[in-house]
């Protein structure tokens, strides 16, 4: 059924090894035979068997994608499709293919990773999340298997290659923008406080206030889940304060979208009554009512660089750990009342 290198060899009247060399475009093969062999390949509709090649090469030219557990929830966030798109782009350029991990529960994911790594299905791994004491991360580190994490690692920051934004500065920039536009009562609506992103962005917010000599109030900081209902409770809390904020820094567009809805229900008008600055700049922020000001963290490039640098590490194993910071940009839309 399927045509192999041997069939080609017979038809072209050469040895299998010669065919292999032609495929690799080995310079030691004469043009004549190259032409002849290529013709034979075309005639037979030959395609190299990647599996066999991988076995001989001990390299699969594939990278593994590991999603956070509870992908069900997380996939609702447009962040993931977009970063996968970036990874796909980076991988494609280097002619690597992509293997996705399946599995929802934490244990299943770990299993999927050992399957990919131990089974030598992939040459490296992209971790799409960064958790405290992550067994997957430990496993990869212990096995010295090439991997890169998207986001800042909690531990061993110096020893792990990762791509991230400067979330501290990004948040500081956004907060300062609000301050410059006359806001003094600025609240912070963060996601899971155990996430490094949240912590980084909170710090940026705090420092922005500090540097502008604005007071920092504990009650102005609330944490909610990333998704849909997320904003609701946060907003309720904040606007039942004696001195409700006039502006909000929200760490995720989807959450900000929820905030927008809740404010609307409360009869508060954005941006007249309250201004909102959020993060990620996904499609949603553009088409929301009103369009959201959002920090563009360049998700695509985050993924693209992740793939690129992982592959670099795969092909150059003793390269030291790197840190890649993707620039951000403030995208100002109608959700902010300007001075």
Distance between CA atoms of 278 and 202, rounded to whole angstroms? Answer: 13
Show contacts with DNA in window 52-91 (CB under 7 A). 52-53, 55-58
| Smaller CB separation from DNA, 34 or 141 | 34
Show contacts with a copy of itself in window 203-232 (CB under 8 A). 227-228
- Per partner kind, with CB cut-offs from 5 to 8 A, the member of DNA, a copy of itself, none near residue 39 is none
- Taken as a whole, the chain contains a residue count of 339
Q: Is 75 in the site for a copy of itself (CB under 8 A)?
A: yes
| Smaller CB separation from DNA, 2 or 213 | 2
| Smaller CB separation from DNA, 55 or 266 | 55
Backbone φ and ψ for 186, nearest 5 degrees, come out as -115, 125
- Per partner kind, with CB cut-offs from 5 to 8 A, the member of DNA, a copy of itself, none near residue 89 is a copy of itself
Q: Please state the closest distance from residue 204 (CB atom) to DNA, in A.
A: 48
Considering only 55, 132, 266, 269, the residue that binds a copy of itself (CB under 8 A) is 55
- Per partner kind, with CB cut-offs from 5 to 8 A, the member of a copy of itself, DNA, none near residue 13 is DNA
Show contacts with a copy of itself in window 227-266 (CB under 8 A). 227-228, 257-258, 260-261, 264
Q: Is 4 in the site for a copy of itself (CB under 8 A)?
A: no
Show contacts with DNA in window 38-57 (CB under 7 A). 46-49, 52-53, 55-57
Total number of residues that touch DNA (CB under 7 A): 31
- CB-based contacts of 61, cutoff 8 Å, min separation 6: 50, 54, 95, 96, 97, 123
- Per partner kind, with CB cut-offs from 5 to 8 A, the member of a copy of itself, DNA, none near residue 102 is a copy of itself
Q: Is 43 in the site for a copy of itself (CB under 8 A)?
A: no
Considering only 10, 33, 184, 290, the residue that binds DNA (CB under 7 A) is 33
Nearest by Cα to 236 from 194, 189, 293, 290? 189
Q: Is 60 in the site for a copy of itself (CB under 8 A)?
A: yes
Q: Is 178 in the site for a copy of itself (CB under 8 A)?
A: no
Show contacts with DNA in window 229-258 (CB under 7 A). none
Distance between CA atoms of 200 and 197, rounded to whole angstroms? Answer: 5
> Which stretch, 10-18, 92-100, 152-160, 170-178, contacts a copy of itself (CB under 8 A)?
92-100
Most distant pair of Cα atoms in the chain: their distance: 89
List, in sequence order, every residue forming a beta bridge with 188; answer none if it has no partner: 221, 249
Asked whether the beta carbons of 155 and 142 are under 8 A apart, the reply is no
Distance between CA atoms of 266 and 36, rounded to whole angstroms? Answer: 77
Q: Please state the closest distance from residue 147 (CB atom) to a copy of itself, in A.
A: 17
Q: Is 119 in the site for a copy of itself (CB under 8 A)?
A: yes
Site residues for DNA per CB under 7 A: 2, 4-6, 13-18, 20-21, 23-24, 26, 28-30, 32-34, 46-49, 52-53, 55-58
Site residues for a copy of itself per CB under 8 A: 2, 47-52, 54-55, 60, 62, 65, 71-72, 75-76, 78, 80-82, 84-85, 88-89, 91-92, 96-104, 108, 112, 114-116, 118-121, 227-228, 257-258, 260-261, 264, 283-284, 286-287, 289
């Amino acid at each position: 059924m399927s045509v192999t290198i041997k069939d080609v060899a017979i038809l072209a009247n050469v040895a299998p090894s010669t065919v292999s060399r032609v495929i690799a475009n080995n310079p030691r093969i004469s043009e004549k035979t190259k032409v002849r062999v290529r013709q034979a390949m075309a005639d037979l509709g030959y395609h190299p068997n990647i599996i066999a090649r991988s076995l001989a090469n001990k390299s699969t030219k594939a990278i593994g994608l590991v999603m956070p557990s509870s992908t069900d929830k997380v996939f609702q966030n447009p962040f993931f499709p977009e970063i996968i798109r970036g990874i796909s782009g980076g991988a494609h350029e280097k002619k690597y293919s992509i293997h996705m991990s399946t599995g929802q529960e934490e244990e299943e994911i770990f299993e999927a990773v050992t399957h990919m790594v131990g089974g030598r299905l992939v040459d490296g791994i992209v971790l799409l999340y960064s958790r405290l004491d992550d067994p997957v991360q430990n496993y990869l580190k212990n096995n010295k298997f090439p991997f890169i994490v998207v986001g800042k690692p909690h531990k061993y920051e110096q020893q792990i290659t990762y791509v991230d934004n400067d979330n501290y500065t990004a948040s500081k920039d956004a907060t300062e923008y609000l301050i410059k536009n006359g806001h003094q009562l600025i609240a912070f609506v963060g996601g899971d406080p155990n996430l490094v992103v949240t912590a980084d962005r909170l710090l940026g917010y705090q420092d922005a206030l500090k540097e502008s000599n604005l007071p920092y109030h504990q009650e102005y900081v609330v944490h909610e889940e990333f998704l849909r209902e997320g904003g609701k409770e946060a907003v309720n809390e904040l606007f039942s304060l004696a001195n409700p904020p006039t502006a909000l820094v929200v760490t995720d567009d989807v959450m900000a979208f929820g905030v927008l809805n809740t404010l609307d229900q409360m009869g508060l008008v954005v941006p007249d009554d309250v201004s909102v600055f959020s993060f990620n700049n996904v499609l949603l922020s553009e088409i929301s009512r009103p369009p959201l000001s959002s920090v563009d963290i360049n998700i695509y490039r985050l993924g693209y660089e992740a793939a690129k640098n992982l592959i670099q590490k795969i092909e150059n194993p003793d390269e030291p750990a790197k840190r890649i910071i993707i620039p951000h940009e403030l995208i100002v839309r109608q959700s902010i009342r300007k001075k």
